[in-house]
A = this chain, B = another copy of it.
Amino acid sequence: MERKRTKSGNIRLADVAELAEVSLITASRFFSNPGALSVGKRERVESAAKQLGYVPNLAARALASQRTEIIGVLIPSLTNSVFSDVLRGIYDASEGSRYSIQLGNTRYSILQEEKLLRVFQSQRPAGLIVTGINQTEASRAILQTMNCPIAQIMEIGPDPVDMMVGFSHYDAGFAAASHLLAQGFQRIGFLGARMDPRVQRRFAGYVDALKAASRFDPRYIVTTPTSTTVTLGGTLFADLLAQAPDIEAVFCVNDDLALGVLFECQRRHIQIPEQMAIVGFNDLEFMASAVPPLTSVRSNRYEMGKSAVTMVTAAIDGFRPQELVVDLGFKLMIRHSSIARRN
């Protein structure tokens, strides 16, 4: 375990080459294309590298090769478990590849997103994954100049920057509301928090579904820009009951709110679904084991993250997918909480 000392104190590829008695470039090739080396040299370089504890310098590699193996990822929240799932998909997929992930948290701010994009610019990432379709003009301009494959995730829409993986939140909101209507509920409330672009599109789906059935009433709607908590679900539900005591069902824009509503109903001894139907969104794991089990809209978040990485890495390698926009869809998980009394 002797240690070569160079000016900088680091073991360089040159040190490995020297010990292995090969040229620098041969040592370099051992890492990029070992098959091109003769067996003897390959073994000598390998053992020399191990003996010296050589670790390649990524900065030097990036500078010389003019490319990195970094995929930049921009998500709006670290707390929201929706994004934990997406991230898990992203990290799982990246581990099967040679790419590493550089993560940025925009906190639901498109200005912060723009800022982080500028940071990413200096890293020269090989690919990019951004959340949603509501970038600023400046962000779009930056994305254009970065000329690397880009995936927008979480939702799909017109005018993709490059690739897209997601689903229609409008359709999902419409489907959730339609389900309640189909069950025969007439006075259907909406509880919304944070009201980010995707939440707003779910909301729009709800509004249109109710309007189509001539059941729309602004009194049924309670929203807040505040971020989501379970406790908030209870509070918003209390507000809703206050302004529309005859409400029969609630569509909560996410499952945390739905859980809060469940607890509030338990507190008030409101029977679910007999006196109040509940539908959530995201289908977090606890929805199925709640009492009663809660209806929700399942999206393929893990898959979304995984696909985004797969698409981006494939595109980096020159294999651009046939379909640039991938709709992963959603699935209404109908459970006891939204089954009509009369059924």
Contact = CB atoms under 8 A, between A and B. Distances in A.
Interface of A: 8, 53, 55-60, 62-63, 66, 68, 78-79, 81, 84-85, 87-88, 91, 100-103, 105, 118-119, 121-124, 145, 229-231, 234, 256, 259-260, 263, 266-267, 285-286, 288-291
A286 B326 CA distance: 35
A57 B55 CA distance: 22
A124 B81 contact: no
A8 B63 CA distance: 11
B291 A267 contact: yes
Contact of A66 (B8, B63, B231): B8
A122 B56 contact: yes
Given A286-B230, A289-B230, A291-B263, A60 B58 contact: no
Main secondary structure of the interface of A (DSSP, over half): helix
B68 A79 contact: no
Nearest to A228: B285
Given A55-B118, A79-B88, A260-B289, 8 more contacts: A53-B145, A59-B60, A59-B62, A78-B87, A88-B105, A102-B102, A263-B289, A266-B291
Contacts of A260: 286, 289
Nearest to A291: B266
Contacts of A63: 57, 59-60, 63
21 contacts: A55-B122, A58-B59, A58-B123, A59-B60, A59-B62, A59-B68, A78-B87, A78-B88, A79-B81, A91-B105, A100-B119, A229-B285, A229-B286, A230-B285, A230-B286, A231-B286, A231-B288, A231-B289, A259-B286, A260-B286, A263-B289
A224 to B, nearest CB: 16
A306 to B, nearest CB: 13
A288 B259 CA distance: 12
Contacts of A231: 285-286, 288-289
Contacts of A88: 78-79, 105
A112 to B, nearest CB: 9
Contact of A234 (B56, B57, B259, B289): B289
Contacts of A286: 229-231, 256, 259-260
